[in-house]
Structures are given as structure tokens and as C-alpha cells.
Chain A
Amino acid sequence: MARALVHMQATARRGEVIGIRALIGHPMETGYRPGADGKVLERDIIRRFTCRYNGEIVFSAELHQAIAANPYIAFYTVAVESGSLEFKWEGDRGFVQAETMPITVTG
């Protein structure tokens, strides 16, 4: 299980644009590098990142080998209602990880 970190504010006013920073520990092996034994290491990257706000997709990303190890993605969303944001990373070798952050919307 990789370590995932999501930074965002826990409370917001209705209609406020909130910044979200998502980071996950992953080597993002390109499939072009030789390993210690001289053989090319098999590709192992995160292909897809999705952010759902109370079940609805508000942001997603398709990642390639050119994304640095430990992928960091920062983006924005509008706080519309209280509930939770679900973050999901999916990749090669059946890699799946999800993280959930609660949000309280006032006003």
C-alpha cells in the first residue's frame, strides 16, 4: 500500500473555489531504464487519477511515463455541498488506491 497525502481545507463557504493537492508514493517506472542487472525494468506507472465529489467526477487525469516519481497533482474545485471527496489512483500491475477527505460546506 502506497502512502497517499491529500491536502485541502476541511471547511469552505458555498461556492468557494478550493485548492486540492494530491501526492502519492509510487516509483512511476518508465519501462525505459535498465535496472541493477542491466535488464530494462518493466513499466509500472499510475495511468489514471480521479477525483469524485459526492460521487460525481469533478477532475481526472491520464498520466504517462513523463510524470515524475511520486506523482503530485494540484487542482481546484468548487465547494457545493457538505460530504466527501474521493481520490483514486489506478495503474499498472493492478495498482488501485483510494483516499477520502471529508468537507463541510457552510452558508
Chain B
Amino acid sequence: MTAIDKLDRSRRKALAGLGALLLVPVGPACATPEKMAAAIDAFTGAATPRRGGITLEVASLVDNGNTVPITVRVDSPMTAIDHVAAIAVFNERNPETGVAVFTLGARAGKAEVSTRIRMATSQKLVAVARMSDGSFRIHSADVVVALAACIEGEA
């Protein structure tokens, strides 16, 4: 074996190693619209939520995905027989589809919840409310994110 042969072989190995390195996924796997649909189905028990009667309030363009204020409002008298039982928020393209599940009741008085969330990229957010009669309501919002959250390392 000549010196050139050896060099060639080690170069090949080095190249193969580099190739393997490139194949390793760099970030965590993203959730997909299908995964979000599955998560919503799991929450609703495959019942079809109706549109209307619920508002997911969020800016359509946000500068910083690290803190995005959202508010979910449901039209409900919030009485013992007719109230919102739970509100769930889902996202499409963060590493995980779940954002939060809020459990309410007649004692909430008002079906409105606000929080601040993270968004890894521009995507669709969905809010689903479970009513006390077992029906579901849904509203979605598309949000454009300028600076992503969640995945980058520490600055």
C-alpha cells in the first residue's frame, strides 16, 4: 500500500464521517399539522367542534416568538347548567403541539383566559373550548413570527 493510497483511504473515511454528521438532525423534530389535528381529536374525542362563539386573540405579526400574548374568550353565560368546562390551545409547528389546557367551571364567572406563549416559527394557533353540554367550539389564528423561540441556544 502506498502512502497516497493510505491518504486516500483516510480522506474517504473523513468524508464519510462528515456525511454521517450532516445526516444527524440538527434540531428537535417539529410538530406537523397532522400531529396537531391528532392532538385536537384526542381533546375532543373525535367530536367535530363548531366554529363561532370563541375568539383566539393574538397579534397577526409578532416580533419576538419568546413571549406572545394570547387571550381566549368564549361566549357563555357561565351558569351552573351552561358554562365552559375547558379551553385548550394547540400549535402547529413548535416541537410539541400542546400549549396549555385550562380547566374552568361555573365559578369562573367569565370565560376568558390570557397567557404568554412561545412560538418556534410562523404558524397556526388553534383554541378549542369544551362546553358543559359536551359540545366543542374552535377558532384558529395564523401568526407570522419574526424572531423564533424555543430552539436556539443561550445567547
Q: What's the least CB distance linking B123 to chain A, in Å?
A: 11
Verify if A76 is at the interface (C-beta below 8 Å from B). Answer: yes
Verify if B2 is at the interface (C-beta below 8 Å from A). Answer: no
Verify if A9 is at the interface (C-beta below 8 Å from B). Answer: no
Which of A33-41, A86-94, A97-105 touches B?
A: A33-41
Which secondary structure dominates where chain A touches chain B?
strand
Verify if A82 is at the interface (C-beta below 8 Å from B). Answer: no
* Chain A, 23-43, CB within 8 A of any chain B CB: 30, 32-36, 38
Are B109's CB and A35's CB within 8 A?
no
Interface size on B, residues (CB 8 A): 35
Contact code string A70-83 (vs B, CB < 8 Å = 1, else 0):
01111111101000
Are A67's CB and B115's CB within 8 A?
yes
The interface of chain B, by Cβ under 8 A from chain A, is 27-28, 66-68, 91, 94-96, 98-105, 107-110, 112-119, 149-154
Further 6 A-B residue pairs, CB within 8 A, beyond A58-B108, A74-B114, A74-B115:
A53-B107, A61-B100, A65-B95, A66-B150, A68-B67, A78-B108
